Amino acid sequence: MEDKKSAGLNEQISSPVNYDSKKDVQSPEKTAGEIEKAKKELEDFKKKVVKKFPFIHSLSVLPAQSSKMFEEEEGLLPEDIKKKPTHLMMLIPEDQFKNVSKKIRPEMIKLANESKQPLWIHIKTEVDVWNYGLDSKYEFVDAVGMSYPLYDKGLLSSLRVASIHKNLVLRKFEKYVASYVVGGSLIRGTADKDSDVDTFVIIDDTDVKRMPRLQLLDKLRGIIHDYIREATALAGVKNILNVQVWLLTDFWERVKDAESIAYTFIRDGVPMYDRGTFLPWKLLLKMGKIKPSPEAVDKFMKVGEQNEPIVKRKMIDAMVDIYYGVITPAQALMMLTGNETPAPKEMVAAVRKILVEKEKVMSQKDLKFLESVIKLYKDHEHGKLKNFSGKNLDELLKESGEYNKRLKESRKKLETKLISDDALRIYDEVFDLLKKEFGNKGRESLVEEFETELVKKGKIQRRYLPVLKNIIKIKQKVRGGKVSHTEMDNVKKMTAELIRELVDYSQRKELISMEKGLIQVSFGNKRGELVLTDSCAFFVEGDRIMKVGLKGFTISTQKDFEKAITNTKDRMKVKLDSKVLEILKKELGDFELNI
């Protein structure tokens, strides 16, 4: 007999999914199709009810197949039943129960009569619904869950998805489901349309002999959790279904020890299905019959004994967090100066050299604090720091907060200083190049020479003239501290291009002079230089060097250009071939030679 039973749950797990959604649950689409007409007729009624009683949880149409059991429960008279009324379920908060007979029911009867439809309104609180479960009237809970919502704040949608999931699980595992219990916000009456739905499934594994229980539990969870997606789709709700699966033998051990999870589950949960397992536990708990074992008492007592070492460890962990909150900003400032991020053991020396002595943006006080925090961490790392009191932690946290505030100010000073240094450096570098080219003249004269001799004559592209003028403006703005890092970065990029152009021009000028066979060429609004060598002629325009061949211009390189000049024996006696002029005409159009 045991082997036969053992195969039962195993076969249920391994067998293909065997349920019929039309039989087990009624999909929202089907229900909507059947009562869509009734819904339209009840729309005005619903609006009046919600306006009159805005506190209600929900108003819904009960499934037709459940009408008889609700009629029997409320004792409808035969003449009322013959009218075949539409049964509505109105769920209200428990604190409104006192107003049902004197206020709510009379008003609802009045509204029902005004609608001129045969309606019967069942007014229940959420506690009444859960009492159905506690009284083992699970078909009533299902009926409420599967009712068609006219108005719902979230309780119906939560109940619907749990009810559908329960039916799918029961269809799959039949007698092996010991209990299906719902808890959490749904039971507390605080569920809304986005609330999670917490449920517990207890599977009877007492007849399983052939499969290890961990393996059994893993397979059961996989199957039961797969039904979550199916239930959510059928319910058509947004509520997330959280399902915990327990084996009966494992959960019984927790019940015997009165573990908190088991205690809370039994105390607060309401069964949507039970085969005589959960409800007896709930009654025994109320009677005070579920008491922890001595071992469980010892286990719980040990938790108190662990407080001190746990708190001490967390104090030291907090100190470590503060340590990282101190050294990381200092590393950031080092990065800002363009230096590598120093390792903790090299941090103090590097910060002293760069931030304190060179840049002068960090005080000796902050350096000493940084050094003390690093030493504290090293003591912990080497096992010397055993305790760190709450008082010490508070003081360290306070000092680190003040330290970080000062470092933010240091960052502002450093950024301002770096921007100023960059502005002065690029200004001096550019104007030193211009002085080398045009002589030791004043700034305005150098700018004028740059524009007249280099830009207008096509030796430097026109777009670099605004860059030069912007360098002057940036130097003036830096004095007022009005230049941002982003603006300075953009200036540096453009200035780097200008400097490269000036250097390239200077090098070309050194390599090419009039006695080296250089002829100025004007064409259109542009200028270039024709350079004659023994091997061939070159045409230079801006930063482009082109070789003049029989078929026209071809791109050349600086290396080939310099090599040709170097190999020319007598640069004073180079010849200008008429074919070169023809190629210039072909490539440039009309041009003039400035000899």
Tell me the DSSP string of 190-207. Answer: ---TT--EEEEEEE--TT
Which is it for strands 592-594 and 518-523: parallel, antiparallel or unpaired? antiparallel
Q: How far apart are CA 224 and CA 166, in angstroms?
A: 10
Closest CA to 167 of 146, 148, 188: 146
Q: How far apart are CA 335 and CA 342, in angstroms?
A: 9
Q: How far apart are CA 529 and CA 548, in angstroms?
A: 12
Query: By three-state DSSP, how is residue 246 classified?
Result: strand
Q: Are 426 and 495 in contact (CB under 8 A)?
A: yes
pLDDT(209) > 90: no
Q: How far apart are CA 458 and CA 448, in angstroms?
A: 15
pLDDT for 363 equals 92
pLDDT for 38 equals 63
Q: Are 529 and 548 in contact (CB under 8 A)?
A: no
Point out the least confidently predicted range of 19-33, 165-179, 272-286. 19-33
pLDDT for 3 equals 42
With bands split at pLDDT 50, 70 and 90, how would you rate the model's confidence at 235?
confident
pLDDT for 5 equals 42
Query: Cα 368 vs. chain centroid, distance in angstroms?
Result: 38
Q: Are 164 and 228 in contact (CB under 8 A)?
A: no
Domain ranges of the chain: 7-286, 307-388, 419-510, 514-594
What are the structure tokens assigned to 340, written together?
Answer: 């590598």
Element containing residue 152 per DSSP (H, E): strand 148-152
Rounded to 5 degrees, what are φ and ψ at 182?
-110, 145
DSSP state of 17: P
In the block, which residue shows the tokens 């080296």?
Answer: 516
Q: Are 380 and 322 in contact (CB under 8 A)?
A: no
pLDDT for 2 equals 39
Q: Which positions ≥6 away from 429 have C-beta within 8 Å?
A: 495, 499
pLDDT for 359 equals 86
CA end-to-end span of the chain: 118
Closest CA to 583 of 542, 543, 545, 538: 538
CA separation (Å) from 439 to 119, 431, 446, 503, 552?
A: 105, 10, 8, 16, 38
Closest CA to 165 of 64, 282, 268, 245: 245
With bands split at pLDDT 50, 70 and 90, how would you rate the model's confidence at 9?
low
Tell me the mean pLDDT in the region 417-441: 83
Region class of 15: left (phi > 0), else alpha (psi between -120 and 50), else beta: beta
Q: How far apart are CA 576 and CA 104, in angstroms?
A: 113
Percent of the chain at pLDDT above 70? Answer: 88
Count each helix (H run) and each strand (E run) in the chain, helices first.
24, 14
Rounded to 5 degrees, what are φ and ψ at 492?
-60, -40
Q: Are 134 and 271 in contact (CB under 8 A)?
A: yes
Tell me the mean pLDDT in the region 476-482: 72
pLDDT(119) > 60: yes
Q: How far apart are CA 530 and CA 520, in angstroms?
A: 6
What are the structure tokens assigned to 217, written together?
Answer: 């539990």
Point out the least confidently predicted range of 4-13, 188-197, 351-360, 540-549. 4-13
Angle, CA 223 vertex, CA 219 and CA 224 arms, to 5°: 115
Q: How far apart are CA 362 and CA 437, in angstroms?
A: 42
pLDDT for 210 equals 66
User: Exposed, middle or buried by CB within 10 Å (0-12, 13-18, 19+), for 139?
Assistant: exposed
Closest CA to 219 of 11, 530, 25: 11
Tell me the mean pLDDT in the region 30-48: 70
User: Exposed, middle or buried by CB within 10 Å (0-12, 13-18, 19+), for 140?
Assistant: buried
Tell me the mean pLDDT in the region 438-448: 85
What one-character-per-residue DSSP string does 443-476 give? HHHHHHHIIIIIITTTSS-TTHHHHHHHHHHHHH
Helix axes 390-438, 464-479, angle to 10 degrees: 130
pLDDT(78) > 60: yes
pLDDT for 15 equals 53
Which long-range contacts link 324-333 to residues 24+ away (Cβ below 8 Å)?
Answer: 325/400, 325/404, 326/369, 326/370, 326/373, 326/400, 326/403, 326/404, 327/370, 327/373, 327/374, 329/404, 329/407, 330/355, 330/362, 330/370, 330/407, 332/411, 333/361, 333/362, 333/407, 333/410, 333/411, 333/414
What are the structure tokens assigned to 213, written together?
Answer: 């229980």
Q: Which positions ≥6 away from 461 have C-beta within 8 Å?
A: 455, 501, 542
| Partners of residue 555 on adjacent β-strands | 546
Tell me the mean pLDDT in the region 323-336: 90
CA separation (Å) from 347 to 248, 322, 357, 541?
A: 59, 16, 14, 52
Q: Are 191 and 197 in contact (CB under 8 A)?
A: yes
Tell me the mean pLDDT in the region 94-108: 91
Tell me the mean pLDDT in the region 120-149: 92
Does the CA dihedral 78-83-88-92 come out positive or negative? negative
Rounded to 5 degrees, what are φ and ψ at 362?
-125, 140
DSSP state of 102: I
Provide the mean pLDDT of the chain. 83
With bands split at pLDDT 50, 70 and 90, how would you rate the model's confidence at 25?
very low
pLDDT for 16 equals 47
pLDDT(454) > 50: yes
In tens, the pLDDT along 271-325 reads 999 998 899 988 888 887 777 666 666 766 776 777 888 888 889 899 999 999 9
Closest CA to 427 of 506, 351, 337, 499: 499
pLDDT for 368 equals 94
In tens, the pLDDT along 385-413 reads 888 888 999 999 999 999 999 999 988 88
What one-character-per-residue DSSP string does 415-433 give? HHHHHHHHHHHHHHHHHHH
**CB neighbours (10 Å) of residue 286?**
11
Tell me the mean pLDDT in the region 405-429: 85
The more confident residue out of 26 and 87 is: 87
With bands split at pLDDT 50, 70 and 90, how would you rate the model's confidence at 7?
very low
pLDDT for 17 equals 47
Q: Are 102 and 142 in contact (CB under 8 A)?
A: no
Write the class of the CATH domain 7-286: alpha beta
148 residue type, one letter: Y
Q: Are 438 and 505 in contact (CB under 8 A)?
A: no
With bands split at pLDDT 50, 70 and 90, how would you rate the model's confidence at 595?
low
